[in-house]
Structure formats: structure tokens, C-alpha cells
Amino acid sequence: MVANVKIDLTEKEMPTKWYNIQPDLPEPLPPVLHPGTHQPVTPDDLKPIFPMALIMQEVTQEPYVEIPEELQQIYRMWRPTPLQRAYRLEKALDTPAKIYYKYEGNSPAGSHKLNTALAQAYFNKKEGVKRLATETGAGQWGSALALGCQMFGLECKVYMVKVSYQQKPYRRIMMETWGAKVVPSPSTDTQAGRSILAQNPNSPGSLGISISEAIEDAVTSKDTKYSLGSVLNHVLLHQTIIGLEAKKQLEKAGVNPDIVVGCVGGGSNFAGLVLPFMKDRIKNKRIRLIAVEPEACPSLTKGTCAYDFGDTAGTTPLLKMYTLGHTFVPPGIHAGGLRYHGMAPIVSHLHKLGLIEVKAVHQTPVFQSAITFTRAEGIIPAPESAHAIKVAIDEALECKKSGQSKTILIGLSGHGHFDLGAYDEYLGGKLQDYEYPMEKVKEALVLLPKV
């Protein structure tokens, strides 16, 4: 019998609800705190920046949340996404492991980010919001939100980290093509941006700075709310469609994964993929769920689990998370989407409870793995996603040594068509590795808010 390469779901089989991990957590999440009073935030505190539907999704204890039909219709433009068996990669590695990947790069915006961008635009639109402000690093999130806003007739303003704005014009052009207004951050459009520029006119920017700008924009502009592409519970909730689909697809193929691996920046694609497998993990310790981050931004492997701000200016509510400190300025590695100082509270909590494994890897071997992958499977992975590929390949090679035939599921969160400059540097032997020094971690942690 010829084995299937793709395990597809029909549109009818697409999940109609997102999965909420909160009621299934062995211990509840620590509360989010108000930055001024250090008391748990109330829905009213969050009202200036988010619509009520998303605030309620942030705290709901319902195990499933309905995906509105109007949103399902748009999801069907590219969902369900394929689950593919990487036969050619297995052959190239000469491994007995069975490798599958869940590919989110065929969304119109090129990554998983569109799953939540559309949902956020939808719920804002329903509550009469006319404009969304957001930040973006390398532009994956900004482009997803630009398209999400376009689909629901909202205006979109994107504060793009300056170094990416200068070095990677194509994502900016994509956002503008979808109708968004994009400025390099720090910008002169906000007080937060102006004060950073006053201290350092050449600031390259960071996600933390861009978040400060976007939040300030949301609270000071008419009919405007803020939108975040990762970290928060509602964002992770929207991404669970990835894992819910993958689970159904694996069931169709008649296999149980031994290892599920995803990259982590703020934690949304990893959580989206693994949360639907978490009940299996809690019941049966055999399944390993591995989060992979860059050595240059090692929040889970070198950070501390503490209350910290989500942004640089210290305006957001305090989240209990693994953090490198909100003053962290990331080194310029190529996986722009993985350069955030913190980590989703849900992912942080799961790590604290010992329910996930964490690994940090350098970018050179990451690109080497991306090349091995693309020469076998064809898809050029986003540098972010290639972090997951690197660890999956390591695990597959371990199987080769031990002779075990484990089933490995990779979260392939996006394509790398706008990251060819990074591939060029790697192929030209110019890519450098950077390990974030422990002294810097310690320095930044002194500035954590005292809770």
C-alpha cells in the first residue's frame, strides 16, 4: 500500500471550538496584577485596551470557546492546514523515527499568527472598535494583523521594531499593501517613543519598546484598542486550533506522538500545538512536549519566573512569567519573532509544573537544520520554526542511535520567504552565534518590579 504523505481534514472536520487549558491545569494560573496597586486586575482595568469578549476569554474557565461562524468562514480560506509526514527528511537522516509536521505557513500571511489576528479583529469589530494598534518585530505578526483588520474593515497602525523596519522592507510593504500604517519604533508618534529617542537617538528598538508605543496609542486615540500577537491567554486560546486539528489528523493516521516540539517566542504557536495534548501529558508521562528558544534570548532556560511588565516602559499589567527582565534589548539574531524578554504565563506555568521540556539552541545549527529540512521537504521554514526543526532532527538522530522508532510532531509555524537574507548569510558562512551572558540576565533582574 502507498502511504499518504498528507493527512488532510475536510472543511467540515475543522474544529468549531478553541480549547481552553485553564480548567484542566493541575494548579490555577497566578493572577495578572495591576502595575500600580499590585492587586489582581479587573476586567475594568483592561477595558481601555481590549474588547470585553477578549478580556473574558483571558479568564474563562469554560473548557471550550465557540469559534464564531463568520470567523470559521474566513479560516476555511486556508484551514484546516495540512499535517505532513516528512518521509524524505526521515530518509535523509536515515532514522527509524516517524516525523510529521503541522504546517501553518500556507496561511495568506505566511504563519500561524493569522489565526489570532482574525479572531482579535473580529471581536474588536463586534464591539464597535474602528482601529487597532500593535507592535511587530520582523513583521510576521504585523502583517497578520494588517490582513485581519483589512478583512473586518478596521484601520491598523503597526509600530515596527526599527532595526527590522530598516533591514526587512518586504514585510512592511506587505502590511502597507493590506492597508496598514507602519512606523519604525521607537517613533516620534508617542511619548514612550520620544523619551527613548531622547535617551538614545540611535535606538534599534525592541518588541518591549514597540509594545509601549502601541499601548499608548490605543489608550490615547479614539475608537482604538491594542492587539497583542502572543503571550496572553486569549491569543494562545485562538492558536489551539493548530493542535486540535493535528490531534484529529494523527488519529486519522492511527498514530500517537511521542514527542511534540515547537519554537517559542511569546509562546503562542507552541501552546497552540501542545495544549490539546496536555491532558495526555498529565495522564501519561510518556509524551514529551518540547519548547525551543534561541540561546540569544533564553527566557525559559536562563530567565527567572517572576512578575514582570510585558513592555519596556513598564505600563502593562504584571504577568507571572519566565523573563529576562523588561529592560532586555535583544541581540540581532535572525529569528526576529523569538526575541521577546518574557514568555506566555500559561507556558511559564506549565514549565514550572514540569509538564514541558525546554531547550535553547544557537542560530547556526538552526539554519543548518533548516537547510537539511528544505532540501528534503521543499518548504523553506521561517527561522523561528527552524528552531523546532533543529530539536526534532536531534531527536530523530537519537532514534537512529537507539534504534527506536519514535513519532515526532513538529510545529512548522511559518515559511521563511522573507528571511532569505538570513539564509544568504548562513550559506555565505557569515552567520554568528551569540549566547546571552548570565551577568546580563542578573543585571536586568534587579530592575524587576518588587511584588
Ligand X SMILES: Cc1ncc(COP(=O)(O)O)c(C=O)c1O
Q: Which residues contact ligand X by CB under 6 A?
A: 111, 137, 140-141, 230, 263-270, 337-338, 382, 384-385, 413-414
Report the C-alpha gap between 435 and 443 in whole angstroms: 16
Please say which residue, 149 or 335, places its beta carbon nearer to ligand X: 335
105 and 111 in contact (C-beta within 8 Å)? Answer: yes
The nearest distance, CB 339 to ligand X, in angstroms, is 9
The nearest distance, CB 140 to ligand X, in angstroms, is 3
Measuring CA to CA, how many Å separate 4 from each of 7, 67, 259?
Answer: 7, 30, 21
Here the cell at position 92 is 535523509
The nearest distance, CB 266 to ligand X, in angstroms, is 4
Residue 201, CA atoms < 13 Å, CB-side half-sphere: 0
Please say which residue, 142 or 317, places its beta carbon nearer to ligand X: 142
Please say which residue, 253 or 371, places its beta carbon nearer to ligand X: 371
Runs of H (alpha helix) within 15-131: 43-46, 52-59, 69-75, 87-93, 113-126
Report the C-alpha gap between 358 and 292 in whole angstroms: 6
Please say which residue, 268 or 312, places its beta carbon nearer to ligand X: 268
The nearest distance, CB 137 to ligand X, in angstroms, is 6
The nearest distance, CB 119 to ligand X, in angstroms, is 14
What type of residue sits at position 23?
P
Which residue sits closest to ligand X, CB atoms considered?
337
Report the C-alpha gap between 275 and 153 in whole angstroms: 32
Please say which residue, 185 or 230, places its beta carbon nearer to ligand X: 230
Please say which residue, 399 or 409, places its beta carbon nearer to ligand X: 409
Please say which residue, 167 or 256, places its beta carbon nearer to ligand X: 167
Task: For strands 304-309 and 288-294, give the pairing.
Answer: unpaired
How many Cβ atoms sit within 10 Å of the Cβ of residue 405?
12
Packing angle, helices 383-402 and 363-377, rounded to 10:
80
The nearest distance, CB 47 to ligand X, in angstroms, is 24
155 and 126 in contact (C-beta within 8 Å)? Answer: no
Q: Cell numbers 523596519 label which residue?
A: 165
Q: Which residues are bridge partners to 182 per DSSP?
A: 158
The nearest distance, CB 418 to ligand X, in angstroms, is 10
